[in-house]
Structure 1
Amino acid sequence: MRISTSQYFGMNVQTMDDQQSTLAQLYQQLSSGVSLATPSDNPVGAAQAVQLSMQGATLSQYASNQNTALQALQSEDGSLSSVNTVLTTINTLLVRAGDGSLNDGDRGDIATQLQGIRSQLMGLANGTDGSGNYLYAGYQASTPPFSVDASGAVQYNGDNGIQHVQVTGTRNIAIGDTGRDVFLGISPAGSSPVTAGNSSNTGSGTIGNVSVSNPTDPTNQHKYTINFTSTTTYTITDVTAATTSAPQTYAAGQAITLGGGGQNVTISGAPNAGDSFSVTPAAQSSTDVFANLDKVIAALQTSVSGAGGQANLTNALGTAMTQLHNTMNNVTSIQTSVGGREQEIEALQTVTQTNSLQTSSNLADLTQTDLTSTISKYTMTQFSLQAAQQGFSMIQKLSLFDYIGN
């Protein structure tokens, strides 16, 4: 195959043009630090870079969501710690109020202290986070969840909505709890049945706490009343099943078996005929911490006279302390849940950060210039171009006319 002079010259010029173009491209990569400026530079790499950029943006948003969720949970955690501190103070005052040496004035002072603590608890229930949103209002984050009506009773104005945040592609996490759950509810686990004496009792009978011998007995979830038909006999009414036992002989301090025998309770002192006591499952009793506080405050403000009055106060304090125990157990359970969610988010933050760094590294490998490799290519291409230019210059002189002229 014969190659004409014009073809030969054209091929050499094209080769040098290509090398100059390569040099220009390599120079741009070196000066800009970007090896993938346009999709035509590396179509497959460009597609991968788009995917990595989208993944990086998604991970960045998840990281932001995780920070938001963690801050919200930390605010609630701190608030619940304060609530527990207040409830512990209430418990201490109730124990003190049971001191038989106190007089009406002493108990009135304790009632006044409890009223102040109730206001403090109300303030915590209407607490806000760093952004001014109410912690326990549900979806109504701009409205105080609790208010006091004309009668002095506390009303819940929030809803049951629990806000969630998407912290990973497959995980939505709750970033709060409602005021109804925290201050008006109880935890099914760890709560105790509530015993109470009728406030109109005239005898000196006092009821103790429930002792559970068989936690799986279904009748433990029934409500019972113990009604004294005389000072020495009583009947047990299963309010849930609507049944009443035959009269039984009363002995102070002797265990009284309830229902199927899964639990029992003791009554001490000397009840009068017509006196009654009740045992209510925790979930069916009053779970409103504010209403329970109001009842025990009223009991402490009532003048105590005689054995009957002292017994009624003892029963009221016992009921209040059991209800308070259930509330504290509930708050602790919620705080434990909050702490677990905080730990989960912190673990996810570590994973997200690792994935973000790996994604950024992979994207950099695709789009950023490898200086060592690029400089080497630039130098080699430059040498090749110089050699081509010198060779072409020498070949241009290989003409018969040059020899004839000599």
Structure 2
Amino acid sequence: MRISTSQYFGMNVQTMDDQQSTLAQLYQQLSSGVSLATPSDNPVGAAQAVQLSMQGAALSQYSSNQNTALQALQSEDGSLSSVNNVLTTINTLLVRAGDGSLNDGDRGDIATQLQGIRSQLMGLANGTDGSGNYLYAGYQASTPPFSVDPSGAVQYNGDDGIQHVQVTGTRNIAIGDTGRDVFLGISPAGSSPVTAGNSANTGSGTIGNVSVSNPTDPTNQDKYTINFTSATTYTITDVTASTTSAPQTYAGGQAITLGGGGQNVTISGAPNAGDSFSVTPAAQSSTDVFANLDSVIAALQTPVSGTGGQANLTNALGTAMTQLHNTMNNVTSIQTSVGGREQEIEALQTVTQTNSLQTSSNLADLTQTDLTSVISKYTMTQFSLQAAQQGFSMIQKLSLFDYIGN
């Protein structure tokens, strides 16, 4: 095959043009630090870079969401710690109020203290986070969740919505709890049945706490009343099942079996005919911490007269302390859940940060200039171009007339 002079010159010029183009491209990579400026530079790498960029953007958003969720949960955690401190103070005052040496004035002072603490608890229930959003209002984050009506009773104005934040591609996490759950509810686990004496009782009978011997007995979920038909006999009515036992003989301090025998309770003192007592499952009793406080405050403000009055006060304090125990158990359970969510987010933050760094590294490998490699290629291409130019310069000087002349 013959190659004409024009073809030879054209091939050499094309070769040098290609080398100059390669040099220009390598120089651009060196000056900009970017090895993948356009998809044509590396189509496969460009597609991978797009995927990595999208993944990096998603990880960045998840990281931001995780920070938001963690801040919200930390605000609630701190608030619940304050609530627990207030409830502990209330418990201490109720124990003190049970001191038999106190007079009506002393108990009135404790009631006044409890009223102030109730206001403090109300302030915590209407607490806000760092952005001014109410912690316990559900979706109504701009409205105070609790208010006081004209009768002095506390009303819940929030809703039951719980805000969630997507912290990973497959995980949404709750970043709050409602005021109804925290201040108006109880935890199914760890709560105790509530015992109470009728405020109209005239005898000196007082009811103790319930003792559970068989937690799985279904009749433990029934409500009971113990009605004294005389000073020495009583009947037990299962209010839930609408059944009443035969009259039983009363002995002070002796265990009274309820329902199927899964729980029992003791009554001490000397009840009178017509006196009654009740045992209510925790979930069916009053779970409103504000209403429960109001009830015990009213009991402390009522003057005590005679053995009947002292017994009624003792029963009211026992009821209040059991209700308070259930509230504290509920708040502790919720705070434990909040702490678990905080730990989960902190663990996810570590994973997300690691994935973000790896994604950024992979993207950099695809798009950023490898200086060592590019400089080496640049130098080799430059040498090749110079050699081609020199060789072409020498060859183009050759002519048949040079040989004829000799």
Q: TM-score range with shorter-chain normalisation?
A: over 0.9
d(CA) in 1 for partners of 2:404, 2:342: 94
Deviation at 1:7, TM superposition (A): 0.3
State the distance in 1 between where 2:401 and 2:279 align: 126
Aligned to 2:161: 161
- Cα distance in 1, alignment partners of residues 365 and 12 from structure 2: 35
Post-superposition offset of 1:144 = 0.1
Cα distance between partner residues in 1 of 2:383 and 2:141? 70
State the 1:25 CA deviation: 0.0
Following superposition, the deviation at residue 304 of structure 1 comes to 0.3
Give the CA deviation at 1:396.
1.1
The secondary structure found in structure 2 opposite 1:313 is helix
Alpha-carbon offset, residue 402 of structure 1: 3.0
Q: Matches of 1:357 and 1:111 in 2, distance apart?
A: 59
1:118-169 Cα distance to aligned partner (Å, 9 max, x none): 0000000000000000000000000000000000000000000000000001
What SS does the corresponding residue of 1:167 show, helix, strand or coil? strand
Quote how far apart the aligned CAs of 1:17 are.
Answer: 0.3
SS at match of 2:246: coil
Which whole-Å CA distance do the structure 1 matches of 2:391 and 2:82 have between them? 87
For residue 100 of structure 1, report the CA deviation from its aligned partner: 0.1
For 1:27 and 1:319, the matched residues in 2 are separated by 85
Match of 2:187 in 1: 187
Distance, in Å, in 2 between the alignment partners of 1:405 and 1:28 is 49
Deviation at 1:83, TM superposition (A): 0.1
Shift of 1:388: 0.4
**Residues of 1 paired with 2:398 and 2:45: CA distance?**
46
Q: Report SS of the residue matched to 2:252.
A: coil
Distance 2:282 2:160 in 1: 21
Please give the per-residue CA displacement for 1:207-262, whole angstroms capped at 9, x wherever unaligned: 00000000000000000000000000000000000000000000000000000000
- Deviation by residue 1:156-210 (Cα, 9 ceiling, x = unmatched): 0000000000000100000000000000000000000000000000000000000
1:353 is displaced (CA, Å) by 0.5
Aligned to 2:265, what secondary structure does the other structure show? strand
Shift of 1:347: 0.5
Deviations 1:93-136 (A, max 9, x none): 00000000000000000000000000000000000000000000
User: For the residues of structure 1 that align with 2:366 and 2:340, how far apart are their CA atoms?
Assistant: 39
The residue matched to 1:173 in structure 2 has which SS? strand
CA apart distance, 1:298: 0.2
Query: Aligned partners of 1:92, 1:204: CA distance in 2, in Å?
Result: 25
C-alpha separation between the residues in 1 aligned to 2:111 and 2:279?
26
Give, in whole Å, the separation in 2 of the partners of 1:91 and 1:229.
Answer: 35
Say which SS state the counterpart of residue 74 (structure 2) adopts: helix
Tell me, what secondary structure is at the counterpart of 1:304? coil
3-state SS of paired residue (2:46): helix
Q: CA deviation at 1:403?
A: 3.7
Output the aligned Cα RMSD. Answer: 0.6
Deviations 1:335-376 (A, max 9, x none): 000000000000001111111111101100000000000000
Helix, strand or coil at the partner of 2:303:
coil
- SS in structure 2 opposite 1:201? coil
1:14-49 per-residue CA deviation (whole Å, 9 max, x = no partner) reads: 000000000000000000000000000000100110
Cα distance in 2 for residues equivalent to 1:403 and 1:232: 147
Output the CA distance in 2 between the equivalents of 1:401 and 1:232: 147
Distance in 1 (CA, whole Å) between partners of 2:192 and 2:102 is 28
SS in 1 for 2:26: helix
Find the residue that maps to 2:253 and give its secondary structure.
coil
In the alignment, which residue of structure 2 is the partner of 1:349?
349
Residue 80 of structure 1 is matched in structure 2 by 80
TM-fit CA distance, 1:401: 2.3
> Secondary structure at the residue paired with 1:267?
strand
Q: Which moved more, 1:396-405 or 1:207-216?
A: 396-405
- Give the structure 2 partner of residue 36 of structure 1: 36
User: How far is 1:405 from its partner?
Assistant: 4.9
Identity %: 97
Tell me what 1:4 maps to: 4
Please give the alpha-carbon distance, in whole angstroms, between the structure 2 residues aligned to 1:185 and 1:311. 28
Distance 1:139 1:333 in 2: 22
CA distance in 2, matches of 1:395, 1:186: 98
Q: Is the partner of 2:168 in helix, strand or coil?
A: coil
Q: How many residue pairs align between the two structures? A: 406
Q: What are the Cα deviations for residues 75-105 of structure 1, in whole angstroms up to 9, with x where unaligned?
A: 0000000000000000000000000000000
Give the whole-Å Cα distance in 1 for the aligned partners of 2:320 and 2:124. 21
TM-score by length of 2: 0.99
Structure 1, unmatched stretches of 5+, are none
C-alpha distance in 2 between matches for 1:166 and 1:178? 19
Q: CA deviation at 1:399?
A: 1.1
Separation of aligned partners in 2, 1:285 and 1:232: 28
| SS of corresponding position for 1:177 | coil
**Distance in 1 separating the partners of 2:379 and 2:17:** 16
SS of the equivalent of 2:215 reads: coil
Shift of 1:297: 0.1
Distance 1:8 1:98 in 2: 114
Moved over 4 A (4+): none
CA distance in 2, matches of 1:204, 1:323: 22
Question: C-alpha distance in 2, partners of 1:352/1:401?
Answer: 77
The answer for unaligned runs of 5 or more in structure 2 is: none
Please state how far the C-alpha of 1:398 moved relative to its aligned partner.
Answer: 1.6
Match of 1:335 in 2: 335
> Deviation at 1:404?
4.1
- 1:227 is paired with a residue whose SS is strand
CA distance in 2, matches of 1:29, 1:191: 70
- Any idea what SS the aligned residue of 2:147 has? strand
State the distance in 1 between where 2:121 and 2:345 align: 29
For 2:6 and 2:270, locate their aligned partners in 1 and report how far apart those are by CA, in whole Å. Answer: 129
Displacement of 1:290 in angstroms is 0.0
Pairing 1:232–2:232 present = yes
SS in 2 for 1:143: coil
State the Cα distance separating 1:397 from its structure 2 match. 1.7
